[in-house]
Structure 1
Amino acid sequence: MQDNEMPHKRASCGESTGAGPDATASRTALDADELVVGYPTADEPVIDGQTLAVPEGEVTALIGPNGSGKSTLLKGLSNRLEPEDGRVLLDGRRVDSFESKELARKLGRLSQQNTAPDTISVEELVERGRYPHQGFFESRTESDERAVNEAIAMAGVEHLRDREVGTLSGGQTQLVWIAMAIAQDTDVLLLDEPTTFLDPHHQLKVMQIVETLRDDSQMTVVLVLHDIAQAARYADNVVALKDGSMEARGPPEEVITKQLLADVFDIKATVIETEYGPQVVPIEPLDDDESQSSLSRSERTESRPDSPD
C-alpha cells in the first residue's frame, strides 16, 4: 500500500476513545493522522500530533474555548494550511495530492469571514459555487442551473434571489453563503462557526440546513460551534479541543459531561438530559487550579458514562 493511501474503513471518532471490541467500524470521509498544523509566525504548532477519523454521512462538531485550535484543525483538514507533519486523507487519498478544482468538487469549506461585492445578486453569488464543475469559458449548464435552484431552495432564500448581497442582513447573508457552498455539490462540507453572531432564528435555520444535508444528501459535515447546546442537539459526534489537543470525542451524551466542562471550558455546570440531547446550565467560572479539583468524587463518577456501580 502506498504512503498516500490507507484503509478507508476504520473506527469513527466516537470509537477512537476506547469503545469495546464489539464496536462496529464505520466508513470515514476524512482521516487526520498524527497531524501537526501551525502558522509560520508562531514558534509552536497549534495542533500537535492529533489523530481524527470523521465518519462519512454524519455531522461532527468541534467544540472548545477560544484559541483551542478548532479553526486551525479545520484549515488543516481542508488543506488551507499545509501540515508540518502527519497527513490528511479524503476518501483514503492525501488531500494535498488533489488538484485544486478536483479537491473543490469533493470538499467544500466556508470560513468565518467571506467577502463578495455588495452589488452582486444572491443568485450570482450562489452560482459561484459551481466554479469547480465548469471548464474554461464554459457557460452555465442545465446541471448548474438545477444545482443553483436546489441550493437556493434548501437555504430558504428564494425570496432574496434578485437582491444585492450588500442589502441583506447578517443572517440572510450567511444563508446565502451556505447556499453557495451547497451549490458546490461536494461530499464533505467544512463550516467554521456558521452560527456565530446570528440571531436565534437564523442560527436554527443554519442548523436545520446542516441536518437536511446529512439526512437527505448523506453529506459529511464538520463544523466549529461555540454553542454547546447546538452541538449536542444536531451533531452525531462531538470533538472537544483544548490547547490544540483533542480531550474527548464521541456521541454528545458521552462527551458533554460536568467533568469535561470543568476540564475543557473551565466552568462549573450541570448537564440535563433532554429529548434534544444534553443541555448545559453554566453555574460559575473556575480558576485554573480549580478545574481539576472542583468536582467531588461522586460528581466525577456521575459525569462518566457507563461507570461501574
Structure 2
Amino acid sequence: MRGNEMSHERETSREASSDGTDAVASQTALDVDELVVGYPGADGPVIDGQTLAVPEGEVTALIGPNGSGKSTLLKALANRLDPDDGRVLLDDRRVDSFDSKELARKLGRLSQQNTAPDTISVEELVERGRYPHQGFFESQTDGDEEAVDEAIAMAGVEHLRDREVGTLSGGQTQLVWIAMVLAQDTDILLLDEPTTFLDPRHQLEVMRVVERLRDESDTTVVLVLHDISQAARYADNVVALKAGTIYANGPPEAVVTDDLLADVFDIDSEIIETKHGPVVVPLDPLVEHSRNETNESEMLQRGESSSNKQE
C-alpha cells in the first residue's frame, strides 16, 4: 500500500466537546488524525499530516530509516509531544485531554533511555510502575503486589528480583524496565526500540514478552524496530515511515517487500521465506538513490530545485 493508505476505512468527525471527547466511530486502540508534530526550532514538522488507526489487541511495528519519524510518532501517541495540528485519540478522547496519571493508567511507554539508581533492587524498580494506581502517601496494596508479581513473571526476571539494577547486564536491565511498564497494567504499551543493542537471546526474550502480551492479555503493543525481520516475524501490522510520512501500512506480507525496502531504505535485498517467518537479507545499498539524494541536497543548499536542473 502507498500514500498513507489505511488498513480499514473509518469516518471521523472533527467536533470535540469541552472534556476532550471526540465523536469517532472506531474500534481501534489509538487513532491518529492528520497529525502534524515536530520540535521547537526545527525547520519543519517531523510528522506531517499523517493518519493512522492502531488496531486493538494486536502488535504494530513502526519501521523506517533513521530520521523517518518513528520515535517522534511514538512520543506523539504517548502525549509526550504537543501536536502542531491534528490529534491523537484514545477511547474517543484526545490524549492531551487526560491528566498524566489518568493517561498512565491506560497507556504505558518505555523510551530508549531509562535511568535508575544502581542500588535500587529489581523488585523496587518494578514497583514504581504502580504509581498511576496509587494516591499520595498510600502504601502498597495486595493488588499492587499481585500486579508486580505478574509483571516480573511475564518478563521472566524472577531470578533477578533481589538483585541491584546496577549489577545487571544490558539485556537483563531492559527486561526489568519492561517489567516495570507491565506493572502499570495498561491496555496499550508503547516500546521505543526495545531490542536495540541487545544480544540475540535477549532480543528473543523481549519479543516473546510482546507475543505473550498480545496472546494472553489482548494488550495493544506499538513498538519501533530497526530489525525488519523481527517486525515481519512478530508484528500483526507493519507501518513503514519515510521522511515523516506513512509510506505503507498493513500486514507484514503486504508491506515488507523488495520494492518497499528499495523505496524506503534505499537497499537491494532478498526476502527469504522460512517456517519461522520471512527473513530480510540486505544485499547492497542502492547507489543511484544515494547519488540522487546527494545531488538534491547540494542543489537545495545552492537555492536550486530539481525542476530547474539543466539536462
TM range (shorter): 0.7 to 0.9
User: What does 1:54-65 align with in structure 2 at a 5 Å threshold?
Assistant: 54-65=54-65
Counterpart of 1:173, as a letter, is T
1: distance between equivalents of 2:237 and 2:125? 31
1:5 is aligned to 22
1: distance between equivalents of 2:104 and 2:121? 23
**What displacement does 1:287 show?**
2.4
Contact 2:110/2:181 (CA < 8 Å) preserved in 1? yes
Contact 1:126/1:176 (CA < 8 Å) preserved in 2? yes
Contact 2:266/2:289 (CA < 8 Å) preserved in 1? no
**What displacement does 1:273 show?**
2.2
Q: SS at 1:129's partner residue?
A: helix
2: distance between equivalents of 1:278 and 1:69? 25
Give the count of matched residue pairs: 275
1:14 is aligned to none
Q: TM-score, normalised to structure 2's length?
A: 0.86
Q: SS at 2:282's partner residue?
A: strand
**What displacement does 1:252 show?**
0.2
1:22-42 CA distances to partner (integer Å, 9 max, x unpaired)?
A: xxxxx2000000000100020
The structure-2 alpha-carbon separation of the partners of 1:240 and 1:216, relative to structure 1 and needing over 3 Å to count, comes to same
1:256 is aligned to 256
1:18 is aligned to none
Task: Name structure 2 gaps, 5 residues minimum.
Answer: 1-12, 293-311
Percent identity, aligned pairs only, is 78
Q: TM-score, normalised to structure 1's length?
A: 0.87
Q: SS at 2:96's partner residue?
A: helix
Runs of 4+ with >6 A deviation:
none
Contact 1:269/1:282 (CA < 8 Å) preserved in 2? yes
2:295 is aligned to none
Q: SS at 1:186's partner residue?
A: coil
2:83 is aligned to 83
2: distance between equivalents of 1:256 and 1:60? 13
1:208-264 CA distances to partner (integer Å, 9 max, x unpaired)?
A: 000000000100000000000110110000000011111101000000000000000
**What displacement does 1:6 show?**
3.0
2:34 is aligned to 34
Counterpart of 1:6, as a letter, is A
1: distance between equivalents of 2:144 and 2:25? 31
2: distance between equivalents of 1:223 and 1:58? 11
Contact 1:270/1:283 (CA < 8 Å) preserved in 2? yes
2:219 is aligned to 219
1:120-143 CA distances to partner (integer Å, 9 max, x unpaired)?
A: 000000000000000110000000
**What displacement does 1:282 show?**
1.2
Q: SS at 2:30's partner residue?
A: strand
Counterpart of 2:173, as a letter, is T
2:180 is aligned to 180
The structure-2 alpha-carbon separation of the partners of 1:247 and 1:131, relative to structure 1 and needing over 3 Å to count, comes to same
**What displacement does 1:278 show?**
2.2
**What displacement does 1:274 show?**
2.4
Contact 1:263/1:291 (CA < 8 Å) preserved in 2? no
The structure-2 alpha-carbon separation of the partners of 1:110 and 1:148, relative to structure 1 and needing over 3 Å to count, comes to same
**What displacement does 1:281 show?**
1.4
1:307 is aligned to none
The structure-2 alpha-carbon separation of the partners of 1:191 and 1:8, relative to structure 1 and needing over 3 Å to count, comes to farther
2:236 is aligned to 236
**What displacement does 1:280 show?**
1.0
Task: Name structure 1 gaps, 5 residues minimum.
Answer: 10-26, 293-309
2:194 aligned with 1:194:
yes
Counterpart of 2:190, as a letter, is L
**What displacement does 1:290 show?**
7.2
The structure-2 alpha-carbon separation of the partners of 1:137 and 1:227, relative to structure 1 and needing over 3 Å to count, comes to same
Q: SS at 1:42's partner residue?
A: coil
